Amino acid sequence: MDPQFFLTEWKRKYAASSDRNEAIPWFWENFNEDKMSIYQCMYKYNAELWSTYATYGMTCGFFQRVHMIKQTSFACMVILGEKENDKEKNLSLSGFWVFSGKSLPEHLIECNDFELYDWVELDRE
């Protein structure tokens, strides 16, 4: 399947699915590992994250700054942490990205936020 068509269809299935587990099998059945790549990103400075609200805002800003790759990528970012006595702690930020192509897009690498994350290419296994 053409990577561009795959990403468009995947975004539709993911967004329309009330249970993400329904969409995941379609992803793996149609993912073209010869023409696409999957990366995990892990924020390097989790110890400095103090609020889910601020971390969410930072993530939204990152997405805005790399908007030009939205047609050739899909990302899912996750903020994890604990709450104790109304205080958030041990926050961490990471995400998974799917790209058309076998490498990280140039526009992503050129974004200042790129250096705030460690990027690891994942394989299907």
10-residue mean pLDDT profile of the chain (125 residues): values are 87 90 91 94 97 96 95 96 89 97 95 97 85
- pLDDT of res. 19: 85
CA distances (Å), origin 120, targets 14, 51, 117, 123? 23, 26, 10, 10
Please report the pLDDT score of residue 46 as a whole number.
Answer: 97
Amino acid 20: pLDDT: 83
Q: What is the pTM of this model?
A: 0.90
Q: Return the HEC string of 78-111.
A: EEEEEEECCEEEEEEEEEEEEEECCCCCHHHHHC
Contacts 24+ apart (CB under 8 A), 90-94: 91/46, 91/49, 91/50, 91/51, 91/52, 91/55, 92/42, 92/43, 92/46, 92/49, 93/42, 93/43, 93/46, 93/49, 93/55, 93/58, 93/59, 94/40, 94/41, 94/42, 94/43
DSSP SS3 for 41: strand
pLDDT (0 to 100) of residue 109 = 97
pLDDT for the residue 11: 94
